[in-house]
């Protein structure tokens, strides 16, 4: 974008922030950014992204049969773009780098386990090469780009969803919510956003580092009962806090001047998980 346009956009953005009665933030980072620009807490409405769950989720056995996946193997799913860093000097880790970390964690799982990667991108070759280098290429299935309406079959087929994202802007936010809506456990890195979207110990497991992340994956891959127990709690969390219906009601209340869903005086997590 030309510099003149960037400056014009900045001015317009600041004016919009001053004039708005309420400003919606979809992540803890967005909240901090708004605060840093002088927006008071009482005007910030923290409403994380919501999803519309599928009306039909096939059984695990049916999904594996349709997709041609083994019925008995522990299957780990990751839905992510395989994108490299936008610029070489960009300090933020890319989505592909998180998938590479996932490969290293997956290598510790039993040889019967299968990793299914849904998504594509310019770094796919790098991911494929790393799978070969780690001697797990035969256990990694690249599904490529899948129409959103068909991704439900992959959620249904897996035992659990996993992606060790470190950068908040790269988080598999929607995929994480969709996996839980389909009744699948989630393994993720612990941070502000994952603590909001995953009920640790109830709908999934959060890790403080890659070593613990790999340990969580191994635990779920070898304990189907625990895996399914965590998965069963997911749909209720989504229906309570992350469904389109709940979010639409909150936005309506915000617009008509009813219940204030701002973050003033409370922790961000409580706004979502304590509502509805």
pLDDT of 102-111, one tens digit each?
999 999 999 9
| Cα separations in angstroms, 164 against 41, 57, 142, 213 | 31, 25, 18, 7
Pick the CATH number of 67-240 from 3.30.70.520, 3.40.50.2000, 3.40.640.10, 2.40.50.140: 3.40.50.2000
Q: How confident is the model at residue 62 (pLDDT cuts 50, 70, 90)?
A: very high
Beta-carbon contacts of residue 137 (< 8 Å; ≥ 6 apart): 128, 131
Provide the pLDDT for residue 264.
37
Query: Is 80 exceeded by the pLDDT of residue 267?
Result: no
Q: Is 243 helix (H, G, I), strand (E, B) or coil?
A: strand
- Looking at the chain, the domain(s) classified CATH 3.40.50.2000 span 67-240
Report field, pTM of the whole predicted structure over 0.75: yes
Q: Looking at per-residue confidence, does 160 or 255 come out higher?
A: 160
Q: Looking at per-residue confidence, does 274 or 241 come out higher?
A: 241
Give CA–CA dist 67/123, Å, rounded. Answer: 24
From the list 230, 238, 58, the residue with the least C-alpha distance to 149 is 58
Provide the pLDDT for residue 92.
53
Report percent pLDDT > 70 for the chain: 83
């Amino acid at each position: 974008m030309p510099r003149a346009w960037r400056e014009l956009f900045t001015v317009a953005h600041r004016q919009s922030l001053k004039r708005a009665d309420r400003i919606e933030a979809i992540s803890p980072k967005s909240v901090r950014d708004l605060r840093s620009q002088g927006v008071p807490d009482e005007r910030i409405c923290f409403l994380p992204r919501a999803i519309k769950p599928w009306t039909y989720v096939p059984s695990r056995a049916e999904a594996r049969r349709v997709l041609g996946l083994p019925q008995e193997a522990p299957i780990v799913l990751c839905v992510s773009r395989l994108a490299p860093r936008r610029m070489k000097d960009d300090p933020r880790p890319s989505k592909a780098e998180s998938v590479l970390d996932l490969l290293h964690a997956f290598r510790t799982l039993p040889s019967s386990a299968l990793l299914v990667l849904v998504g594509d991108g310019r770094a796919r070759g790098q991911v494929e090469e790393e799978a070969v280098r780690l001697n797990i290429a035969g256990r990694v299935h690249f599904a490529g780009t899948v129409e959103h309406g068909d991704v439900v079959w992959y959620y249904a087929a897996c035992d659990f969803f996993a992606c060790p994202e470190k950068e908040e802007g790269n988080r598999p936010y929607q995929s994480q919510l969709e996996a839980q809506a389909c009744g699948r456990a989630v393994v993720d890195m612990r941070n502000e956003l994952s603590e909001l979207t995953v009920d640790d110990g109830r709908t999934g497991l959060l890790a403080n580092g890659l070593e613990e992340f790999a340990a969580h994956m191994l635990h779920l891959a070898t304990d189907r009962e625990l895996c399914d127990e965590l998965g069963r709690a997911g749909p209720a969390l989504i229906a309570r806090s992350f469904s389109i219906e709940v979010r639409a009601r909150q936005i309506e209340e915000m617009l008509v001047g009813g219940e204030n869903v701002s973050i003033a005086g409370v922790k961000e997590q409580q706004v979502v998980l304590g509502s509805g």
